[in-house]
Amino acid sequence: MPEFRIDRRCPLTPQQAWRRVTDWPRHAAQVPLTGTTVLTPPPTRTGTRFVARTGIGRLAFDDPMEVTEWRPPTAEDPHGRCHLLKTGTFLTGWAEIEVRPHGSGTHVVWREDLRVTRLPRLFDPLTARAGRAVFGLALRRLLSSPSGV
């Protein structure tokens, strides 16, 4: 599967960065033509399920995900980690988000292993580049937006 990694540093605390990068509906606002529906009651935890739907009308697809690890940063342990399993029929794989202190701010790492099920492996490098571009932009916007800290 095509795996990619995105690293970002920001002036937010680990807790602030965590709240932003694990706000699933807010993710959708950063990706064009995408909406997110959380299927389980709050708060987010291991077992939380949500669906990101991307596209318009019949040219849309669902990307259902489940949180399989949920470890928010705390005052005692400022390293946070979230692991998501993609459970769809069109997109499969996983995503992992980590936050950790870096100087007076935070280092955020987003790793993803993404596969478009009907696309031959020949296209894996293109899939990884597209994923890095889309999620890199979303992550930059999530971390730099002036509201929602």
Q: Residue 148: what pLDDT? A: 52
Q: Residue 29: what pLDDT? A: 85
Could you tell me if 115 and 126 are in contact, meaning their C-beta atoms sit under 8 angstroms apart?
no
Summarize pLDDT for 5-18 with one digit per residue, the tens: 999 999 999 999 99
Summarize pLDDT for 18-38 with one digit per residue, the tens: 999 999 999 888 888 899 999
Q: Is the pLDDT of residue 118 over 90?
A: no
* Mean model confidence pLDDT for the chain: 92
Q: Residue 16: what pLDDT? A: 96
Smallest Cα–Cα separation from 148: which of 29, 9, 7? 29
Q: Residue 1: what pLDDT? A: 55
Q: Is the pLDDT of residue 119 over 90?
A: no
Could you tell me if 112 and 7 are in contact, meaning their C-beta atoms sit under 8 angstroms apart?
no
Q: Residue 146: what pLDDT? A: 66
Q: Residue 145: what pLDDT? A: 67
Q: Residue 32: what pLDDT? A: 84
Beta strands in the chain (DSSP E): 3-10, 34-38, 49-56, 59-71, 80-87, 91-102, 105-116
Q: Is the pLDDT of residue 69 over 60?
A: yes
Could you tell me the domains of the chain? 3-144 (3.30.530.20)
Average pLDDT over residues 78-105: 96
